[in-house]
Amino acid sequence: MKKTIFLKSIVVALLALTLLAALPFLGGCDGDDPVRIHIRANSDSEFDQAVKYIVRDRVVDLLTPALENVKSKSEAYDKISSMTGEIKKTADRVLSICGFAYFAHAYMSYEYFPERDYGGKVYPAGYYDAVIVELGKAKGGNWWCVAYPPLCFYGEDGSAEYASLIAEYLDMLNG
């Protein structure tokens, strides 16, 4: 009797270990394989950098409800991919309202990102799928974060992102 219980315990333990080892291949660890977001400013001028953050806020506003019920990386990737035209239009609208003569480009890519710690969640340096939003010449400082799971849509420390006065003004213009 004791021998049977012991053997059953070993079998259960081996099954549990096998399942844990297989989780990354079954989609159970999607958080470790994110879809990143990367917004590149036209230049390092004060105005180009300011508009980059306004574009960021508008793109996050656009993507947040679209990704709210997404359950996997592939679903998030497909959803964001289908929205690149809308992301570009959103960025172009901000650029136009702010009086910029340049336009945006939005596309999906597989790109290198340096290591980044988001409030204790470390994403190692490496290549990640990402939505890229280039503003104008895209030669200035940039902003990047994680679109899925929606880490940066709620603030890096879990708090709400700030709202700038310019972004609030744009909201008033949009009605």
pLDDT value of position 163? 38
Instruction: Tell me, yes or no, whether 129 and 163 share the same domain.
Output: yes
Instruction: Tell me, yes or no, whether 37 and 20 share the same domain.
Output: no
Instruction: Tell me, yes or no, whether 48 and 62 share the same domain.
Output: yes
Instruction: Tell me, yes or no, whether 18 and 95 share the same domain.
Output: no
Instruction: Tell me, yes or no, whether 125 and 89 share the same domain.
Output: yes
Instruction: Tell me, yes or no, whether 108 and 159 share the same domain.
Output: yes
Instruction: Tell me, yes or no, whether 38 and 98 share the same domain.
Output: yes
Say what the pTM is.
0.70
Residue 87 has pLDDT above 90, yes or no: yes
* 55, 135 Cβ separation under 8 angstroms: yes
Instruction: Tell me, yes or no, whether 20 and 87 share the same domain.
Output: no
Name the one residue in this structure whose structure tokens are 């053997």.
7
pLDDT value of position 25? 35
Structural domain count of the chain:
2
Instruction: Tell me, yes or no, whether 25 and 39 share the same domain.
Output: no
Name the one residue in this structure whose structure tokens are 């230049």.
43
Q: Per-residue pLDDT tens for 15-72?
A: 333 333 333 333 333 345 899 999 999 999 999 999 999 999 999 999 989 998 898 9
SS3 content of the chain, % helix, strand, coil (to 5): 50, 20, 30
* 142, 53 Cβ separation under 8 angstroms: no
Q: Which of 2-6, 116-120, 136-140 has the lowest mean pLDDT?
A: 2-6
Instruction: Tell me, yes or no, whether 25 and 106 share the same domain.
Output: no
Distance between terminal CA atoms of the chain? Answer: 75
Cβ-count burial 146-172 (b if 16+ within 10 Å, e if not): bbbbbbbbeebeeeebeeeebbeebee
Instruction: Tell me, yes or no, whether 6 and 82 share the same domain.
Output: no
Element (H, E) at 90: helix 84-97
Q: Domain limits at 50?
A: 33-174
Crossing angle (nearest 10°) for helices 46-67 and 73-82:
120
Name the one residue in this structure whose structure tokens are 């996050």.
60
